Each structure stands twice: as C-alpha cells, then as structure tokens.
Structure 1
Amino acid sequence: MPPSQLHAGGGRIVLSQHNGDPVFAQLSSTYPLKLLSPRVHQKPVAVVYALTYGGGLVSGDQVHLSAEIDRGVILVFLTQGSTKVFKTRGEQRLASVQRLFPESSTAQTYTTPTIQKMDFRVSSNSVIVLLPDPVTCFRAASYSQIQTFHLTKEASAVVLDWMTSGRRSLGEEWVFSRYSSCSEIIVEGTTIAKDVILLEADEPGVDPFPRRTLAERMHPYSCYATVLLCGTAVRAAIEHIKNDYEKITVMKSSAPANFLWSFSLIRPDGDGAIVRVAGKDTETVKEWLKAALSCLEEVIGIDVYRRAFV
C-alpha cells in the first residue's frame, strides 16, 4: 500500500526475508507518523523507529499502524524519546445533557482524544520486540492506545507498555484528563493475554462526595510499566525474570517501597509471562527493565538492544 493510499496518521510495515536478510516489502507512513529503518548488521533483525512530527501527538491525532512479519525474521520496534501527548482542546457537545435539562447552568464540553492503534501479525519462527519509550501525557491530555498482536503457534513477542506521570519538572503529575491502553496477544485465534489500563481524572461537580484525585490515587509512584512476553524465542528472558522474582523476600514496612514489581506466568508451558513494574522515578524503572530483559541480547543482538535503553 503506497503512502497515497494511507489515511492521515497511517503506517504500514511488511517485513520478509531474502537469502537470510530481512527485507522491507513495504515501509510507508503519513503525517503525523514517520517510520524510519536504520541499517543494522544483526541477521535476521530489522529495526523500525516510529516518530511524530513536532515531537508528539496533539489533540485529535489518530495513528493507525499495521504490520506483517513474515516467517523467519525479527522486527524491533522503537521510538525516539517519550511519546508526548499534548493538551486536549475542549469543545461544546452537540447533544448534551443541557438540551434535555435546560435548567442546568453547568456547561459541558467534550475533549478530542488522541488515538493510536497498532496491529501486528507475526508468522512462524518470527519475533516482534516492542520496546518504545514511555508515554508522557501533558496537562489535560486525553490519550487512548490499542495494541494487538496476532501470533502463529511458533511466533514470539515482547511487548513493553509504560507511562510516566507527566512533566514533573513543570509540576505536572497525573494531571492529564484520560489515559487508556489495551495490549492483547492472540495466538492462533485465542487470546492468551490482555492487559487494560484506564486512568481518568475526576470531573468537578459530578460526585457529591469528595474523592481522591488521580495524583493521590497513583501516589507515590510516577512511572508504571507492563511487559508481556510470549513464545519460545523469549523463554530464556522469562526464566531469568522468574528466577529473580523467586528470590524476592517480602518484608513489612511502614513506608511505600521506592520500587515494586510482580511476575506471573500466563501459559502452562512457561512460554508466556506478564511483568508489572512501579517506580518513584522513570530512570529507576528504565534501568530495571534494561537489566531484567537483558536476555533479549541473545535474540536481537547487543547493539540493537542497547538502542532501546539509551
């Protein structure tokens, strides 16, 4: 599909193999999305960076990326810097409660969300490694993402989904309007993992009883991450994290820990796991992820792996 046939914000990746080398049969994108693939020397690995013009996504942007990964290749999908989601514009509802109840004087508005959808289809003996930088929502931003991974029985996937509290240097912590994320791994038509996150700021005046703000509910952590791992190609990484988790000693404490993480198997054969992480700062979470997933160096190569955690 040439760029002229893609909708605004559309992206298309088709990765195949020729004589042992990964080859892009298609790599197309349209504004505000931009896809770049640097040359790498690790066969059969290909790297794609997803960028946005202007350094972020603005209110109303809709990005829809589809990718097909043919047999026997590895796609490493990265970003350059955190995915910034800028402030949402408020607009008057065309059909609102006020039209039904004219006596209400409270003006209601709706926000134009930023939406990102990604759909990956991975063939046998192939791997998708999604290691983006975290999403950072600015004040009043509204962001929604859906990531779906369709795998054959012999395919593998690593999916990192993480977010920060906002621009802490400017005093913005958990002050966005809405954040939702859904990551789903489907193997041979059966969903084996589906992780959903929904965070919403309370609307003033809606609840007559005082409620904790989003910042109070998320305190004291400013960075949350989820990692989904599936397939034989990442079994070593699963075992490595599992062994570390079994060494953890739980001790009672009156104060919250600076860093928390959990591990759960999602497949009885041990070829699937979910890891959840929370930390008081992004750098701590980043360094932990880099160490925890270090076994991926054997899958994608040391140089490529280092690009994910610069």
Structure 2
Amino acid sequence: MIDLKPAPPTLSRECQDNRQYQHDEQRPLANGFANFQPRTDKEEVDCHGNRKAHVSHLQYSYPLKLMVPKYASRSNAKWLYPISYGGGLLAGDHINLNITVGTRCCVVITTQGSTKVYKSDRLTSRQTFNAKVESEGFLAILPDPVVCFANARYQQTQVIHLSRNSNLILLDWMTAGRMANGEHWQFTGYSSQNSIYLEDSLVFRDSVTMADKSTVTIKQAMGSFCVVAMCVLLGPQLQSICEEAIARYGKRKPYGYKYDSTKVVSVSSLSYGVKGDNIKGVVIRISSQTTSEAFQEIDQLLSILYPKLGGDPFENKY
C-alpha cells in the first residue's frame, strides 16, 4: 500500500524573481519516506541484474514532494525525484529524507535541476538524508549541483548504511553560485558531511565547511575554480569501474607533463574487509572552472552504468 500525503498546491507568497525571493514565516520541517522493495508475486530480473521493484511506502510533507515516474527508467531501476516547492530551499527550510533500497533493487535519486539555496540573513537551510541499502541492492545518488546564492547559508548531512554486498554511487557537488549573474563564492556558509557505514561500521566520512575568515575569503581561497565535486563508488558491482578510475587518474605523470590549470582530478582508493572478503572502492575529487568541465569527467566515469540505471539523469543538461 502506498501512503501519499501531497503538499499544498500553492505557496502563500508567489516567487516573482528568484533573486529577490523571501518569505515572512519559516516553513515547517519537511519529512519524506520512500521504501523500494522487490515484487514478491513474481521474480523479474532484467539483463543488468536489477530485480523488479515497487514502492511499498511513499510519504512526504510540505514543502517537500517525492516523485517516482513510472517510465523514467528503461531498466528495472526506479528513479526518485525530491522536489521542493518554491524552486529551491528558502531560509530556514529543513528537509529530512529517508530511503530504503531492498534486496537486488536498483534506485536512482536525482533532481530536475540544480538545488538552489536562497539568501538568508540569519537562518540556515538544511537537508538531511538517510539511506539503507539491503544485500545486493544498488543506490545511485546523482543530483545536479548545489547552487548557493549570495548570502545563503546551507548545511547538508548524508548517512548511508550498506549491507555486505550493497553497491553505492554518491555524487556530491556544488558551484560557486549564480555565475551567470556574477556571483562567485559569495554565500555566507556551506557545510556538507557524508558518512558511509558498512553493517554499522564507519568506512568513510567526508566533511567540507566553507566560510569567510578574517585572513582569507572563500573566493580568495578557491582562486579560479568555480565547481567542486566528490564522487564515491563502492561495492562489488563497481569493481571494474573503480580499477579503471585508478588506472586513469592515479597513474604517475611523465616528467615534463603539463597540467591543466582549469581542471584538477584526483582519485583515492577506499577498501574494507567483510568476513574475509575485500571490497574496494574509490573516491574521486574534481575542481574545475565550469560546470561543463566537471560534468565531462563525471559523465566519462559513469556513462558505462547508464544502461543499468535505465538512462542518463544528466541528459541534455550540460
């Protein structure tokens, strides 16, 4: 049974211009729950190993809306779109999302566009995400980048619990702001923490905090770079891609190699042992001057997985 709690159809105050959008009262805490489980009436597995899944529980509250389009995927993978009413996160918004991915199910969490964080004089916009991936499940978190407007305050926490044979792609990236409007690292504060647990043991944690200091501003520290991205790949189904990433980005450069000053890509190995099995993963970090440059690296890395995921979540965007 699917439990749907749709949000109110309109906001109390319409958005006339995103640059000037403000609200008088803080919106309520938005909770979302989605449970994806394999169908029990019949065993349906596609050519990519994804088991046919259904949404056993779906619930959300204003200002959050969760969409699971029926025909978004060309495989058995399910796609989930979290949407915030108002086109982004207002000052003081707090979105709390909880996801469960069942055995041998594949779920893609993506967005319709960049996550916009509007300006705030004092309140922080927050997003909290918790996920549980059961045995042989596959979770791909592939959102568009976070875009913090000038004077915005943003905090993000993501916690993923994996089972022994679970698989995970976690993409976390951001831009300097509305670059077309001349905004470059002019937000007040940004914080992002990603934690990955394997059967209750912490195997990875990454924490990023950005704020101006008396000695140096964010803009000065970032120089010409306008996009920062991190991608984690973990799990037995991603071993070949991890090995390819290490071979491509981790190999020693020849003497006299001329580095690209507009883009930097690095890779780090991530491995853990579970009951005698050694599972390897990678952490890839990208800094670039433009969103398209960062996306080229992301697309080159993940494009081989698009058939399993049922499509390209970034198609015609960058």
- Cα deviation digits, residues 170-229 of structure 1 (max 9, x gap): 221101010000011100111111111000123xxxx5xxx2221000111000000111
Taking the aligned partners of 1:256 and 1:235, their CA distance within structure 2 comes to: 28
Query: What secondary structure sits across from 1:290 in the alignment?
Result: helix
Instruction: After the TM superposition, list the runs of 4 or more consecutive aligned residues in structure 1 that deviate by more than 4 angstroms.
Output: 1-7, 250-256, 304-310
- 1:288 has 2:261 as partner: no
- Cα deviation digits, residues 3-50 of structure 1 (max 9, x gap): 669973111000011133210011221122111111245443100111
* Identity across matched positions, percent: 27
Q: Which has the larger radius of gyration?
A: 1
Indicate conservation of the 8 Å contact 1:220/1:256, yes or no.
no
Opposite residue 167 of structure 2, the aligned amino acid is S
Taking the aligned partners of 2:94 and 2:102, their CA distance within structure 1 comes to: 26
2:69 aligns to what?
38
Aligned residues: 281
Structure 2 unaligned spans of 5+ = 8-27, 45-51, 273-277
Query: Alignment partner for residue 17 of structure 1, among 38, 47, 53?
Result: 38
1:86 aligns to what?
118
2:243 aligns to what?
239
Taking the aligned partners of 2:109 and 2:316, their CA distance within structure 1 comes to: 9
Taking the aligned partners of 1:228 and 1:13, their CA distance within structure 2 comes to: 22
Q: Which has the higher helix share?
A: 1
Structure 1 unaligned spans of 5+ = 90-110
Query: What secondary structure sits across from 1:260 in the alignment?
Result: strand
Matches within 5 A, 1:186-205: 186-202=197-213
| CA 48–116 in structure 1, closer or farther in 2 if over 3 Å, else same | same
Matches within 5 A, 1:1-310: 2=3, 8-18=29-39, 19=42, 20=44, 21-40=52-71, 42-89=74-121, 111-202=122-213, 207=214, 211-247=215-251, 249=253, 257-267=261-271, 269=278, 271-301=280-310, 303-304=311-312, 307=315
TM-score by length of 1: 0.84
Taking the aligned partners of 1:252 and 1:220, their CA distance within structure 2 comes to: 23
| CA 68–254 in structure 1, closer or farther in 2 if over 3 Å, else same | closer
C-alpha RMSD over aligned residues? 2.4
- Cα deviation digits, residues 212-262 of structure 1 (max 9, x gap): 221000111000000111101222221221121144626669997110011
TM-score by length of 2: 0.82
